[in-house]
Amino acid sequence: MKSLRMTLRASTLLIAAPAFLVIGCADGEPAPTAVEAGAFVAEAEIRLAEVAEEAAHAAWVQANFITEDTEYLAALANERAIGATMDYAVGAARFNDLELSGDVRRKLDLLRLALTMPAPDDPTELKELTQIASSLESQYGSGKYCPEDDECRDLGDLSRVMAKSRDADELLEAWSGWRTVSPPMKDSYTRFVELSNAGARELGFADTGAMWRAKYDMDPDDFTTELDRLWVQVKPLYDDLHCYVRRRLNEAYGDATVPLDGPIPAHLVGNMWAQSWSNIYDLVAPPGDESAFDLTAALEAKGVNAEEMVRYGEAFFTSLGLPPLPETFWQRSLFTQPRDRDVVCHASAWDIDNEDDIRIKMCIEITAEDFSTIHHELGHNFYQRAYSKQPFLYRESANDGFHEGVGDVVALSVTPSYLVEVGLLDEAPDSSADLGVLMRMALDKVAFLPFGLLVDQWRWKVFSGEIAPDAYNEGWWDLRQRYQGVAAPVTRSEADFDPGAKYHVPANTPYTRYFLAHILQFQLHRSLCAAAGYEGPLHSCSIYGNEEAGRRMIELLEMGQSRPWQDALEATTGQREMDATAILDYFAPLGEWLEAQNEGQTCGWS
């Protein structure tokens, strides 16, 4: 799940060097001035706004019509736009020593940090990098597992097996089958790292990972410390959930498959990457719990189709005072998987023209998981539209965790009472069902936290060289075990490339944003519920239709990236630090129950 704002990724037109980049500071030449800095920023905003729309169209076509030709065109567009953006990023450094207004200084800093895929100045290497990037994403999107004696199966087919099967052998085949897609990516990814690092060094960073960590309005080392602090806050709850789930899986599959003192085998938790465990709720449900509602069953019973799923999401945002989605959204989005072509089904939100042409692309299935995902993706779209009146360089979220978290804030309000209000449930379950509701939520939200942290921990080590190409897979599974307590179900080697089986790695999408989003969504939810005057258990609060909560959310969205994220957070919550204690507040009843269930058990893993 991601927001696709193609602003600084691609262009279908050849871009001349920006005028201000040719103004030198050699001996005898005049030093740059504040006036020139302001004009440089103004030119950059105009030029990059133009290439953004061209880029988005090229990328949209590639993702929706995967062919060698669309891959070529997207790579060409990427090459041209990255080159232009690199020129502006390098040019921005010329004004580093000037005393400038806060607005101009912030925009220059944002220009320098604009890319997630910095590229070398050499045109040949730039072209090679963009071709590799386009190819990696296409390989993922068209990937299939093709056993010798059976039909080929794509990720959707295999994911349904992971979600529904309780046969360990069948699960292992699906898990292993998808990982046949990624080994051919390894050599290309290794070269991708080399080229991206070269581009980052040209911008003054040690490597691409260091550049990514510099994007958070704080010292990169302080940001790393901040992530550690947040993880420490939530780790005890995760450890309790892990201990309980492992014991129930042991009861289902036996000691030989799930030892009670080791990590959980990655193929048994209902998700291809073991990042969400909600699909195994039936195996780990609190004993005697039969009253927790089943949203998937409710959607099926109502005969809800894919577009209607999206309409429910739109209605939640409009209930808070945001304007309805434009008609072009409904005409141009992709809601279901086509039968006649390969598409990148991974859910994403698109801002085509940085104004009003917003879309989502996903292969919707009528499930509770996709109902939540739709709210998440629409959160991107409503955010994009809300900050569209900002200057171009501020048309982004306060930090990337905010962009990922806004839709999830709304999803937290998809409570039984809300579902009754919109007609998806006849009546809300009794409060005795809360434990089951919280367990379902924890299997998704709490189980995700270490995975959300470790993907970029791996990439940062790869970019820095701490994890070398001949140890990519070993480094990946070391982190999976250390943070998640999850292990590969069969022996893996460096002939495998399991990180490439996760979309965000071949697609070069930073992943720490999702960890931050899981922290921020609960922090924002707690604050918005308080603003709405709600006084009950935090997990029962819905801000649906609340004017004051909507006002505060709109203020946050419209701010975009015009101010440091600490200011945006303070305006909404009164806090300037991210705070994971809201997760503990939300899951407090479940946390107490898990502690009681785990009493006398051996928790942790070697």
Which residues have a catalytic role annotated? 346-347, 376-377, 380, 404, 504, 514
Tokens of 338: 């086509």
Question: CA nearest 172: which of 183, 151, 158, 186?
Answer: 158
Question: CA nearest 76: which of 87, 94, 61, 92?
Answer: 61
CA distances (Å), origin 431, targets 436, 513, 529, 560: 10, 33, 19, 38
Neighbours of 154 (CB within 10 A): 18
Tallying the residues shown for the chain, one arrives at 606
Q: How far is CA 435 from the centre of its chain?
A: 28
Phi (first) and psi of residue 293, to 5 degrees = -75, 155
The four Cα atoms 137, 139, 141, 146 give a dihedral, to 10 degrees, of: -160
Q: What is the 3-class SS of 100-135, one letter each residue?
A: CCHHHHHHHHHHHCCCCCCCCCCHHHHHHHHHHHHH
Q: How far apart are CA 375 and CA 405, in angstroms?
A: 10
Tokens of 50: 């133009």
Neighbours of 276 (CB within 10 A): 19
Q: How far apart are CA 422 and CA 295, in angstroms?
A: 13
Pairing between β-strand 348-351 and β-strand 358-361 as defined by DSSP bridges: antiparallel
Any residues with CB less than 8 A from the CB of 564 and at least 6 apart, and which?
A: 217, 398
431 burial level (CB within 10 Å; 0-12, 13-18, 19+): middle
End-to-end CA distance of the chain: 32
The dihedral through the CA atoms of 247, 253, 259, 263 has a sign that is negative
The full DSSP string for 200-250 is HHHTT-SSHHHHHHTTSSS-HHHHHHHHHHHHHHHHHHHHHHHHHHHHHHH
Any residues with CB less than 8 A from the CB of 346 and at least 6 apart, and which?
A: 1, 2, 141, 362, 503, 507
Q: Give, for 32, the enclosing helix (H) or strand (E).
A: none
Q: How far apart are CA 522 and CA 75, in angstroms?
A: 38
